Amino acid sequence: MNALDLPLIVEPATLEGLLGTPHLLIVDMTKPATYAQLHIPGAVFLDYGQIIAMRKPVMGLLPTPAQLEKCFSDLGIDESVHVVAYDDEGGGKAGRLLWTLEAMGHPHCSLLNGGLHAWANEGHPVEQTPNTPNPKPFTAHPSNVPVADAEYIMQHLETKTLALLDARTPDEYNGNKRYAERGGHIPGAVNMDWMLALDRQRNLRLKDAAELEQMLNTLGITKEQQVVTYCHTHHRSSLTYVMLKSLGFPNIKGYPGSWSDWGNRQDTPIT
């Protein structure tokens, strides 16, 4: 079984000390050209398109368990493996991988705080040689615990314990920018642009817990609620999901498809 006991958010210095450790798999979710240029030693590349599905105009859906089993098996993940994921855009892609692994019943995963920005800018070792994954048998145990869909949200819209956290830009939230048939937001949702969680002075790490909790508190988001995060496809809001989890929020879900689903339906209420 997994012998690594890593926190959900891992610092670059901690990860550097673990390079080459058995049962550790570092997954790079940058662009292919970036991976070819530099990556963390030992990291295997995963294209973001492998972990999302689409039924246009709805994007960012969960692939089937069978599709994800093949993807994760090919990547070299089994129940003994602890995944540390990173990207070069603030953690959205890497966060989506963590959320997807959780939805498939694999809890052993962490986000590299600051991703490639923090790693490279702070002088940690990099390499250019691509790493070939060592396939392992991944068995999916799908769980709805981290997953919300439109039906779930509509069922609970009037519930006082439900909180909706919209991770899009303010212009998307208020309907000034529209990327679906209808613009606006889910009734009752509060807006926290996903980038507000990141500290630009510290290489796109998550801001300190106290500062993040203060921001959420101001928005009325508390640990007593069932919090659902969404954006346009559940890419940006995956990082929001991981952020909430790192703060100890016990009841959180992500909405795959997000606004590309909600805003393109005719049976969903909109504010």
pLDDT digits (tens, 9 = 90+) for 15-25: 999 999 999 99
Catalytic site residue from 44, 75, 186, 231: 231
In this predicted structure, the answer to whether residue 2 has a pLDDT above a threshold of 60 is no
Considering its fold, how many domains does the chain have in total? 2
- Whole-model pTM? 0.97
> What value does the mean pLDDT take over residues 197-218?
98
- Please indicate, yes or no, if residue 126 is contained in any of the structural domains: no
Residue 4: per-residue pLDDT = 84
As a whole number, the mean pLDDT across the chain is 97
> What value does the mean pLDDT take over residues 53-60?
97
Three-state SS letters, 65-130: HHHHHHHHHHHCCCCCCEEEEECCCCCHHHHHHHHHHHHCCCCCEEEECCHHHHHHHCCCCCECCC
Contact 192/240 with Cβ under 8 angstroms? yes
pLDDT tens sequence across 260-270: 999 999 999 99
In this predicted structure, the answer to whether residue 51 has a pLDDT above a threshold of 50 is yes
- Please indicate, yes or no, if residue 140 is contained in any of the structural domains: no
pLDDT tens sequence across 4-15: 889 999 999 999
- Please indicate, yes or no, if residue 47 is contained in any of the structural domains: yes
Q: Do 154 and 249 lie in a common domain? A: yes
Q: Do 14 and 101 lie in a common domain? A: yes
Of the candidates 66, 100, 121, which is a domain's last residue?
Answer: 121
> What value does the mean pLDDT take over residues 223-247?
98
Residues in a beta bridge with 27: 44, 85
What is the domain-level CATH number for residue 198?
3.40.250.10
Of the candidates 121, 136, 163, which is a domain's last residue?
Answer: 121
- Please indicate, yes or no, if residue 130 is contained in any of the structural domains: no
Question: pLDDT band at 139, cuts 50/70/90?
Answer: very high
> What value does the mean pLDDT take over residues 49-66?
97
Q: Do 87 and 174 lie in a common domain? A: no
Question: pLDDT band at 3, cuts 50/70/90?
Answer: low
Q: Do 102 and 205 lie in a common domain? A: no
Percent of the chain exceeding pLDDT 70 equals 99
- Please report which helix (H) or strand (E) contains residue 198, including its range: strand 198-199
Q: Do 220 and 171 lie in a common domain? A: yes
Q: How far is CA 100 from CA 4, 177, 219, 224, in A?
A: 20, 28, 27, 24
Residue 231 bears catalytic tag = yes
- Please indicate, yes or no, if residue 138 is contained in any of the structural domains: no
Containing structural domain, residue 72 = 9-121
> What value does the mean pLDDT take over residues 134-155?
97
Q: Do 158 and 112 lie in a common domain? A: no
- Please indicate, yes or no, if residue 42 is contained in any of the structural domains: yes
- Please indicate, yes or no, if residue 14 is contained in any of the structural domains: yes
Percent of the chain exceeding pLDDT 90 equals 98
Q: Do 92 and 154 lie in a common domain? A: no
- Please indicate, yes or no, if residue 269 is contained in any of the structural domains: no
In this predicted structure, the answer to whether residue 1 has a pLDDT above a threshold of 60 is no
- Single-letter amino acid code for the residue at 89: E
